[in-house]
């Protein structure tokens, strides 16, 4: 696997003005200017996003757990991260995540494409749950290392129009031993409409446990 993997969290031609506006808003805060006019790390960090996480790590797993892992070569070669599995740009999940470690927050900017339809003209509740799991899961992983979702509790407050751009904001509630509790709100891009609220529990796991 020699080619450089594509980072799906970078803008593409399908991103509309709202998606670009929010992207620029957070991306511009990934670097801050020093007093001397130089550059330093800002409060936010863009989280790169690939579609083949297992494939990229296969050689690592083979070295570390040689003989202990069985995944057929066919599955390995075809496996794709669910949210990055549809090739047509703009058709499904167009999103980018930013993390703010000082504020213990993570945001996701989502432009919901036409293949995510649930009720006519609106986004499917399962697609919304998927994105909440993605944003809160990435946030929990940044905070606590390898985790799996143990509980996801969602209240759908108002439907999300298909094609619109929404903001998902994840905040740390607390950590208790292996448990990381986070909350998430999904709002319209101007913040005026609350679409969805959720709480999630992530439990820290060892990578060996997933592979077993
Ligand atoms: C940058 C890329 C970003 C991509 C992000 C994508 C994120 C996607 C994340 C996922 O979707 S993961 C897939 C969906 N999740 C699963 O398939 C998990 C299935 N469940 C499990 O594998 C296990 O149940 C789990 C690892 C969650 C916990 O099993 P363990 O045996 O490791 O832990 P245990 O059962 O001993 O529980 C540990 C603690 O958590 C608590 N707990 C576990 N499950 C719970 C639950 N459901 N509700 C409440 N508490 C729970 C449990 O009571 C206990 O609390 P205490 O430490 O206080 O005793």
- 151 CA: nearest ligand 1 atom: 47
In a domain, 4, yes or no: no
**Over the stretch 75-125, which tens digit does the pLDDT of each residue have?**
778 889 999 999 999 999 999 999 999 999 999 999 999 999 999 999 999
- Structural domain that includes position 201: 17-32+42-210
Ligand 1 centroid to residue 206 C-alpha, Å: 11
Q: Is residue 6 part of a domain?
A: no
Task: Cite the DSSP H helix spans in the chain.
Answer: 17-27, 53-64, 73-78, 125-144, 207-211
Average pLDDT over residues 154-172: 98
Determine if ligand 1 sits within 6 Å of the CB of residue 149: yes
User: Cα–Cα distance between 30 and 47 in angstroms, integer?
Assistant: 11
184 lines ligand 1 (CB under 6 A): no
CA of 152 to the centre of ligand 1 (A): 10
Is 190 tagged catalytic? no
* Model pTM score: 0.92
Contact indicator for 183, 171 with CB cutoff of 8 Å:
yes
110 falls within a domain: yes
Rounded distance between C-alpha atoms, residue 170 and residue 182, angstroms: 7
Burial class (CB in 10 A: 0-12, 13-18, 19+), 114: exposed
Mutational pocket test of ligand 1: of 129, 144, 148, the residue with most ligand atoms within 8 Å of the beta carbon: 148
Question: What is the 141 CA–ligand 1 centroid distance (Å)?
Answer: 13
ipTM: 0.97
CATH number for 132: 3.10.129.10
In a domain, 152, yes or no: yes
Mutate to test the pocket of ligand 1, among 129, 133, 150 (most ligand atoms within 8 A of CB): 150
Distances (CA, A) of 86 to 51, 74, 117, 141: 10, 19, 14, 24
Mean of the pLDDT values across residues 4-26? 96
Its sign, for the CA torsion 21, 26, 29, 31, is: negative
Q: Is the pLDDT of residue 68 over 80?
A: no
Report how many domains make up the chain: 1
**Cα gap 7→124, rounded to integer Å:** 25
Kindly state if the Cβ of 134 falls inside 6 Å of ligand 1. Answer: yes
Residue 89 lies in a domain: yes
Q: Does ligand 1 come within 6 angstroms of the Cβ of 148?
A: yes
Pick the residue whose CA is nearest to atom 11 on ligand 1: 149
Domain-embedded: residue 116: yes
> Is residue 113 one of the residues assigned to a domain?
yes
Indicate whether 37 belongs to any domain: no
Q: 26-35, 97-106, 123-132: which has the minimum mean pLDDT? A: 26-35
Pick the catalytic residue: 7, 99, 133, 173?
Answer: 133
The answer to whether 140 and 150 are in contact (CB under 8 A) is no
Confidence of residue 64 (pLDDT cuts 50, 70, 90): very low
Whether the per-residue pLDDT at 127 is higher than 80: the answer is yes
Residue 11 φ/ψ, nearest 5 degrees = -60, 145
pLDDT at position 52, please?
82
């Amino acid at each position: 696997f020699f080619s450089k993997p594509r980072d799906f969290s970078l803008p593409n031609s399908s991103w509309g003005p709202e998606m670009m506006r929010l992207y620029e808003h957070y991306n511009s805060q990934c670097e801050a200017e020093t007093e001397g006019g130089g550059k330093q790390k800002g409060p936010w960090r863009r989280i790169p996003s690939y579609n083949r996480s297992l494939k990229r790590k296969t050689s690592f797993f083979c070295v570390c757990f040689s003989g202990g892992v069985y995944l057929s070569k066919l599955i390995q070669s075809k496996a794709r991260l669910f949210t990055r599995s549809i090739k047509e740009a703009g058709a499904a999940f167009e999103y980018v995540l930013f993390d703010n470690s000082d504020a213990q927050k993570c945001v996701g900017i989502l432009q919901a494409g036409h293949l995510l339809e649930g009720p006519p003209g609106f986004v499917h509740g399962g697609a919304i749950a998927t994105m909440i799991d993605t944003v809160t899961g990435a946030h929990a992983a940044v905070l606590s290392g390898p985790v799996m979702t143990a509980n996801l509790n969602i209240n759908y407050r108002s439907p999300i129009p298909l094609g619109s751009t929404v903001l998902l904001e994840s905040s740390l509630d607390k950590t208790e031993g292996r448990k990381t509790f986070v909350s998430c709100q999904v709002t319209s891009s101007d913040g005026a409409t609350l679409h969805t609220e959720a709480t999630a529990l992530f439990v820290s796991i060892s990578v060996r446990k997933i592979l077993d």
